Chains A and B, each alone.
Chain A
Amino acid sequence: MIEVAHLTKRYPGRVAVDDVSFRVNPGEIVGFLGPNGAGKSTTMRILAGYLPATGGIVRVANHDLATESIEVRRRIGYMPESCPLYGEMRVDEYLRFRARLKGVPRSKLKARLADVKERCGIADVGSRIIGHLSKGYRQRVGLAESLVHEPELLILDEPTIGLDPNQIRLVRSLIADLAQRHTILLSSHILSEVEMTCRRVLILNKGRIVASDTPDKLRRRMEGEATVTAEIEGPQAEVEVALRSLPGVSEVTSEGIGPWRRYTLRAARDGDTRADVFGAVAAQKWRLRELHQESATLEDIFVSLTSSDRAEVRQ
């Protein structure tokens, strides 16, 4: 659906997008993740045909963006970051205008409008003036607008920014629903959101793609080791020796005063160290009151890939 090769966007004095290449297959939901200023919006604006690239090739549905911009734009539903709308128009009026502009024939207009309003949950605000709507409704009008011509590809730039938690859940479930019919590329700087909605994640930092995989695989790839925490009552030196001798454990630290101490273990990910810890404690008749293993979240991966010192190393 999207093929991007060596995409570069240069502004005087800085590079916003630096040699980015990726593919999005039909039917995929792909999330762009990155800190603010990583080049997510710029890349999306280029894909939507708003900004031209300085270099590189972008093909959408087998049309070259540079030479067949109008053809590409016909196939894309794009929602910019701030979800700009004409505040003085009514919802129906706006959707009808946009549908006509995007070439929806007059005969299908009514059905299309009813369909997108139904799917986006704005059927009851059709005659309201957009400027008077709440942010959540406006966001949904923006989404409805981007769907109105049944595009093959949806590009949504930060679709849930500025919404309250309830509205975020609504928009998320809406996106998940849309994924059945459209290919979706969305951006976000909220990790849990991308983790929840996207099947594949592209992590951008400083205009480059630093990682591209499913959230699960990224997690696995990132952390070869897991962290196990246990609170044990027993003689400190003996406990530490016992823990260190467990298979796969590379490092044990402890903290706390008194009989209960908190031990932190670095352990290999394959196999579950927790059972071994319990076995060791039980064998010595020590007492155990807490035991858990932390797996790396997408957040850890994100931080490690995009914090400036390590990102360079990984390149």
Chain B
Amino acid sequence: MSAFFTLWRKELTTYFLSPIAYIVMIFFLVVMGVIFSLLVSVLADGSAGVTVMNLLFGSPFFWMTMLVLVPVLTMRLFAEEKKSGTIETLMTAPVSDTAVVLAKFAGALSFYIFMWLPTAFYIFVLWFFSADMLPPDPGPMLGGYLGALLIGMFYLSIGVCSSALTSNQIVSAIITFAVMIVLFLAGLLDYIAHGEWVRQVSAYLSSYSHMLEFSRGMMDSRPIVFYLSGTALLLFATVKIVEARNWK
């Protein structure tokens, strides 16, 4: 257990030792800032039928950013260790393969959460500067962040898994990006497909509509189970892939 925490801490600090983390964070905050300013201008117009969180979490800008950020955050995790050979010292330390995989995932997830923290500031801005000084509705707010967390977990675990597959960071990023795009677009079939079953399957996969629902304050258990089990499955697969160095 203590080995897990040691590894987790190392993974998290490694993010801050590389310039990539800062570039990713700046990029993310710029995009979220643009979204926020658009959102404020929409609110200022007083358009009917929009909610704040819907705009914050459901915007296409947000999705574009997610799809780019996750591969960048995860591509390093195993690929770099394999390339530099440190995987050998890592796997010959007295730690289990499972602890290594979980620590790497936890490190990436912690950085992801860290990246989101500054956005909490927007809510205070809205609260203090809105005319009526009402606190924001907690449901959509919590829902929105829960959605961001769950979807983040699922996508990050795709990234962890693909990083374990290769020793090339670019290849890992491309695999992650491709899988995420396919899942994301499959989710959009809900809006355009004709076949009933296609639409039903697609509704289960649609991160886009899940996020809209979460940010409306609707906590449907189906997407929650989907993301948690998906994450667990991918991490389990990653452990198997890491063990599979043995088979070659």
Please give the residue numbers on chain B whose beta carbons come within 8 Å of chain A beta carbons, in ascending order. Answer: 2-3, 6-7, 10, 14, 17-18, 84-86, 88-89, 91-96, 245-246, 248
Does A158 count as interface, using CB distance less than 8 angstroms?
no
Contact status of A70 and B96, CB under 8 A, knowing A52-B246, A80-B85: yes
Does A97 count as interface, using CB distance less than 8 angstroms?
yes
Stretch at the interface among A83-91, A186-194, A200-208: A83-91
Given contact pairs A84-B84, A86-B86, A100-B3, enumerate 16 new A-B contacts (beta carbons under 8 Å): A49-B91, A49-B92, A50-B88, A52-B246, A73-B93, A74-B94, A78-B88, A78-B92, A84-B86, A85-B86, A88-B17, A89-B14, A89-B17, A98-B89, A101-B94, A103-B2
Does A228 count as interface, using CB distance less than 8 angstroms?
no
Q: Give the docked Cα–Cα distance between A289 and B94 (Å).
A: 64
Enumerate chain B residues within 8 angstroms of A97, measured Cβ to Cβ. Answer: 6, 10
Q: Give the docked Cα–Cα distance between A48 and B87 (Å).
A: 13
Pick the contact of A50: B6, B17, B92 (CB < 8 A).
B92
Q: Give the docked Cα–Cα distance between A87 and B91 (Å).
A: 18
Pick the contact of B94: A50, A85, A103, A145 (CB < 8 A).
A103
Enumerate chain A residues within 8 angstroms of B18, measured Cβ to Cβ. Answer: 88
Q: Give the docked Cα–Cα distance between A85 and B96 (Å).
A: 20
Q: Give the docked Cα–Cα distance between A88 and B15 (Å).
A: 10
Q: Give the docked Cα–Cα distance between A84 and B80 (Å).
A: 11
Enumerate chain A residues within 8 angstroms of B94, measured Cβ to Cβ. Answer: 70-71, 73-74, 101-103
Tell whether, in the assembled complex, residue B246 and residue A101 are in contact, meaning their CB atoms are under 8 Å apart: no
Enumerate chain B residues within 8 angstroms of A85, measured Cβ to Cβ. Answer: 86
Interface size on A, residues (CB 8 A): 28
Residue of A nearest to B87 (CB): A84
Chain A proximity of B21: nearest CB distance (Å): 11
Pick the contact of B7: A45, A101, A145 (CB < 8 A).
A101
A-B contact pairs, 10 of them (CB 8 A): A48-B88, A48-B92, A50-B91, A52-B246, A70-B95, A78-B88, A82-B85, A84-B89, A100-B3, A101-B95
Enumerate chain B residues within 8 angstroms of A145, measured Cβ to Cβ. Answer: 89
Tell whether, in the assembled complex, residue A86 and residue B248 are in contact, meaning their CB atoms are under 8 Å apart: no
A-B CB proximity, top 4 nearest: A84-B85, A100-B6, A73-B94, A84-B86
Pick the contact of B92: A11, A52, A73 (CB < 8 A).
A73
Tell whether, in the assembled complex, residue B88 and residue A80 are in contact, meaning their CB atoms are under 8 Å apart: yes
Q: Give the docked Cα–Cα distance between A82 and B245 (Å).
A: 19
Q: Give the docked Cα–Cα distance between A70 and B95 (Å).
A: 7
Residue of A nearest to B16 (CB): A88
Contact status of A86 and B246, CB under 8 A, knowing A50-B91, A73-B92, A80-B85: no
Residue of A nearest to B88 (CB): A80
Does A175 count as interface, using CB distance less than 8 angstroms?
no
Contact status of A84 and B88, CB under 8 A, knowing A52-B246, A102-B93: yes
Tell whether, in the assembled complex, residue A86 and residue B14 are in contact, meaning their CB atoms are under 8 Å apart: yes
Does A76 count as interface, using CB distance less than 8 angstroms?
yes
Q: Give the docked Cα–Cα distance between A2 and B248 (Å).
A: 25
Q: Give the docked Cα–Cα distance between A76 and B245 (Å).
A: 20
Chain B proximity of A190: nearest CB distance (Å): 21
Residue of B nearest to A72 (CB): B94
Chain A proximity of B165: nearest CB distance (Å): 19
* Interface-central residue, A50, A76, A82, A101, by most chain B CB under 10 Å: A101
Tell whether, in the assembled complex, residue B246 and residue A51 are in contact, meaning their CB atoms are under 8 Å apart: yes
Q: Give the docked Cα–Cα distance between A45 and B7 (Å).
A: 22
Q: Give the docked Cα–Cα distance between A98 and B3 (Å).
A: 10
Tell whether, in the assembled complex, residue B3 and residue A101 are in contact, meaning their CB atoms are under 8 Å apart: yes
Q: Give the docked Cα–Cα distance between A267 and B17 (Å).
A: 67
Enumerate chain A residues within 8 angstroms of B10, measured Cβ to Cβ. Answer: 97
Tell whether, in the assembled complex, residue A76 and residue B96 are in contact, meaning their CB atoms are under 8 Å apart: no
Chain A proximity of B23: nearest CB distance (Å): 15
Tell whether, in the assembled complex, residue B93 and residue A98 are in contact, meaning their CB atoms are under 8 Å apart: yes
Q: Give the docked Cα–Cα distance between A51 and B3 (Å).
A: 21
Enumerate chain A residues within 8 angstroms of B85, measured Cβ to Cβ. Answer: 80, 82, 84
Enumerate chain A residues within 8 angstroms of B92, measured Cβ to Cβ. Answer: 48-50, 73, 76, 78
Residue of B nearest to A51 (CB): B246
Q: Give the docked Cα–Cα distance between A87 and B246 (Å).
A: 26
Residue of B nearest to A81 (CB): B85
Enumerate chain B residues within 8 angstroms of A84, measured Cβ to Cβ. Answer: 84-86, 88-89
